[in-house]
């Protein structure tokens, strides 16, 4: 269910079905003399002090995404050492190597713009260098999906090792952690509830250590989805970054990588239809980030599988939200870890899961669940007494989003999920920045904010600007939520009644491009409807007058991006990186 590669043991030139080469013997540089190629490779690596005994062992590559610009990966050196220890304990040879590192708050125009570049880097460096398995160290939002996309395409035995969440801290007696609390305090500052001195004070308290966001944002969501997919070891999603548990998971990942290399546990044996259905269930049950659906769609696409969003929505109606973590609840990732981690969630979901799905541990998901004892805790709710009765994400359709849109209903205001209002339109992120705080802005609390041109092409890179700020004059009146609609994304740490991923996007002439201030829009989460209440004749008149803005990209990655980027319903992957034909749809 994936496009062909040359790691299946066959010779792509001569068509031979030889046993696959291993260790240093594989992927030799082409000098026209295979023997000399291996001789030269060994000569150079022996310059680093390796013995023949070491070089004859199973090689496990370790991807290092540490960077001074990425505090979410600040524990990468310790994780690498622990993985190396595990590899050597199992008799293998660990070799770490770098790929690019993508950090959410340090990447312009957006980390999503660079996700596919990192996926390409990951895939090509796995293919280019001799290794029998790879441990992928990632954490910050787009790094884990980038690694899974690239490594899945390379189809070499792999294990994802997330860096883990940061620790929480405290501000004036209140427990805080990035980044839901970042947004909460910034909203309070905009609403003049706290002053400049306090916002500066809390700025130094929100991030208690290295590691990813401490709430159920995109990073924590992808950690949980990696474990649910079976591509990360059981129990690996929740240990905080700076704990001994995280280092023990890293050591185990090294040992297991050697075992999986010898038994050829390749990603296509793990990332199956059943695995993706399990992950979709978990995404709904944890109140996970809306970004999770885009990333799962991209990863599944690499395996030749389409995600059926309408079937996903039907799945959501029978899958409750069970995890009481911000932004849908009250707790933090370290609390989920103390409550038993993701296994506690999986145990409650057992009747809905494919328990026979294989994991990288060598055991099935069901066996892993049964191996961990249950105990009383207060973070994960029981299936028959959930936090919310239906899944965290709902899929919407209508004449405003013929290709679909989504809303994180578990983080929305229930009073706004059935709402009709007047559109207040911003033509771009720049237009919004210029006018959102204007005291003369014609806006009231019942209006619907609409932001255009922040989709995959329009921004470019689909930034997390879908979390539009409440207009300052309303924020100062105490308004905390409004219906907001865009073709962009929002951070998994954000909350609000926010419609995202409107497809097709406005930059391509989708219906969102035709919305004008004063139009009426109807949102019905109950009916899964998003409607622009303008007659078709008027919309056709506007359509005839619409002209796309020019896209300027003369060279480099930006040019490739504009030529190849797909819409949200295909995971915003590059078209040429997807298989030539898809082999199935999930959920079934």
In the chain, the largest separation of any two C-alpha atoms, in whole Å, equals: 77
Residue 221 lies in a domain: no
CA proximity to 314, closest of 585, 11, 45: 585
Q: Identify the pLDDT of residue 552.
A: 85
Q: What does the alpha-carbon distance between residue 412 and residue 523 come to, in Å, rounded to a whole number?
A: 13
Residue 280 lies in a domain: no
Cβ distance 361 to 233 under 8 Å? Answer: yes
Q: Are residues 180 and 48 in the same domain?
A: no
Q: What does the alpha-carbon distance between residue 226 and residue 248 come to, in Å, rounded to a whole number?
A: 18
Q: 532 - beta bridge partners?
A: 521
Q: What does the alpha-carbon distance between residue 460 and residue 129 come to, in Å, rounded to a whole number?
A: 32
Cβ distance 112 to 463 under 8 Å? Answer: yes
Number of domains, the chain: 3
CA proximity to 496, closest of 413, 415, 572, 417: 413
Q: What does the alpha-carbon distance between residue 532 and residue 259 come to, in Å, rounded to a whole number?
A: 56
Residue 268 lies in a domain: no
pLDDT at 445 over 50: yes
Q: How confident is the model at residue 11 (pLDDT cuts 50, 70, 90)?
A: very low
Mean of all residue pLDDT scores within the chain: 95
Q: How far is CA 413 from the centre of its chain?
A: 24
**Burial class of residue 110, CB neighbours in 10 A (0-12, 13-18, 19+):** buried
Sign of CA dihedral 74, 182, 109, 152: positive
**Domain limit, last residue, from 159, 184, 203:** 203
Segment 14-31 mean pLDDT: 78
Residue 382 lies in a domain: no
Percent of the chain scoring above 70 in pLDDT:
97
Q: Are residues 40 and 183 in the same domain?
A: no
pLDDT at 6 over 50: no
Q: Identify the pLDDT of residue 3.
A: 42
Residue 172 half-sphere exposure, CB side, CA atoms within 13 Å?
8
Residue 340 lies in a domain: no
Q: Which two tokens stand for residue 196?
A: 């400049």
Residue 459 lies in a domain: yes
Residue 72 lies in a domain: no
Q: Identify the pLDDT of residue 21.
A: 87
Q: How many other C-beta atoms lie within 10 A of the C-beta of residue 516? A: 12
| Nearest 10 degrees: Cα torsion 258, 261, 266, 270 | -30
Q: Identify the pLDDT of residue 18.
A: 63
State the residue range of the domain holding 531. 393-545
Cβ distance 465 to 488 under 8 Å? Answer: yes
CA proximity to 108, closest of 464, 437, 553: 464
Residue 361 lies in a domain: no
Cβ distance 183 to 493 under 8 Å? Answer: yes
Query: Which ranges constitute the DSSP H helices of 290-354?
Result: 291-302, 309-317, 333-338, 342-349
Percent of the chain scoring above 90 in pLDDT:
95
Q: How many other C-beta atoms lie within 10 A of the C-beta of residue 555? A: 7
| Nearest 10 degrees: Cα torsion 234, 240, 245, 248 | 70
Gap between the terminal Cα atoms of the chain = 16
pLDDT at 549 over 50: yes
Return the CATH number at 425: 3.50.30.80
């Amino acid at each position: 269910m994936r496009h062909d590669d040359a790691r299946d043991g066959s010779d792509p030139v001569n068509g031979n079905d030889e046993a696959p080469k291993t260790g240093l013997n594989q992927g030799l540089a082409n000098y026209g003399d295979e023997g000399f190629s291996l001789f030269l490779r060994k000569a150079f690596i022996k310059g680093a002090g390796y013995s023949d005994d070491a070089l004859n062992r199973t090689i496990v590559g370790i991807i290092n995404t540490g960077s001074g610009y990425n505090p979410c990966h600040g524990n990468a050196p310790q994780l690498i050492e622990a993985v190396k220890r595990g590899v050597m304990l199992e008799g293998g040879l660990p070799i770490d190597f770098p790929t690019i590192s993508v950090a959410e708050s340090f990447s312009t125009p957006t980390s999503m713009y660079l996700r596919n570049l990192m996926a390409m880097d990951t895939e090509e460096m796995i293919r280019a260098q001799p290794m029998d398995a790879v441990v992928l160290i990632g954490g910050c939002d787009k790094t884990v999906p980038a690694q899974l996309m690239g490594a899945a395409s390379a189809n070499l035995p792999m294990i994802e090792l997330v860096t883990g969440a940061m620790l929480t801290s405290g501000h004036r007696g209140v427990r805080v952690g990035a980044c839901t609390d970042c947004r909460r305090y910034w909203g309070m500052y905009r609403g003049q509830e706290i002053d400049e001195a306090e916002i500066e004070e809390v700025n130094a308290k929100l991030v208690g250590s290295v590691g990813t966001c401490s709430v159920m944002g995109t990073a924590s969501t992808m950690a949980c989805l990696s474990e649910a997919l079976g591509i990360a070891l059981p129990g690996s999603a929740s240990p905080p970054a700076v704990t001994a548990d995280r280092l023990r998971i890293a050591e185990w990942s090294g040992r297991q990588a050697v075992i999986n290399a010898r038994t050829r546990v390749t990603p296509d044996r793990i990332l199956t239809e059943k695995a993706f259905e399990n992950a979709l269930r978990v995404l709904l049950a944890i109140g996970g980030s809306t970004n999770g659906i885009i990333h799962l769609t991209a990863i599944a696409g690499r395996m030749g599988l389409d995600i059926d969003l309408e079937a996903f929505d039907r799945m959501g109606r029978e899958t409750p939200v069970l995890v009481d973590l911000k932004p849908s609840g009250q707790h933090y990732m370290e609390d989920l870890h103390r409550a038993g981690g993701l296994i506690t969630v999986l145990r409650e979901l057992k009747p809905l899961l494919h328990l026979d799905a294989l994991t990288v541990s060598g055991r099935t998901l069901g066996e892993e669940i049964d191996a961990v004892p249950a105990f009383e805790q207060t973070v994960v709710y029981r299936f028959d007494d959930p936090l919310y009765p239906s899944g965290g994400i709902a899929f919407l359709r209508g004449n405003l989003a013929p290709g679909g849109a989504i809303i994180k209903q578990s983080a929305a205001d229930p009073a706004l999920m059935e709402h009709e209002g007047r559109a207040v339109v911003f033509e771009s992120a720049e237009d919004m920045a210029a006018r959102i705080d204007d005291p003369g802005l014609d806006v009231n609390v019942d209006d619907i904010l609409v932001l255009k041109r922040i989709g995959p092409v329009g921004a470019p890179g689909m930034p997390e600007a879908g979390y539009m700020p409440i207009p300052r004059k309303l924020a100062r009146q105490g308004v905390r939520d409004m219906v907001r609609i865009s073709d962009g994304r929002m951070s998994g740490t954000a909350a609000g009644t926010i419609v995202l991923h409107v497809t097709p996007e406005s930059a391509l002439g989708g219906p969102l491009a035709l919305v004008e201030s004063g139009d009426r829009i109807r949102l019905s989460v109950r009916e899964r409807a998003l409607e622009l209440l303008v007659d078709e004749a008027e919309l056709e008149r506007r359509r005839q007058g619409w002209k796309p803005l020019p896209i300027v990209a003369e060279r480099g990655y930006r040019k490739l991006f504009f030529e190849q980027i797909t819409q949200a319903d295909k995971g915003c992957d590059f078209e040429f990186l997807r298989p030539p034909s898809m082999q199935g749809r999930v959920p079934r």
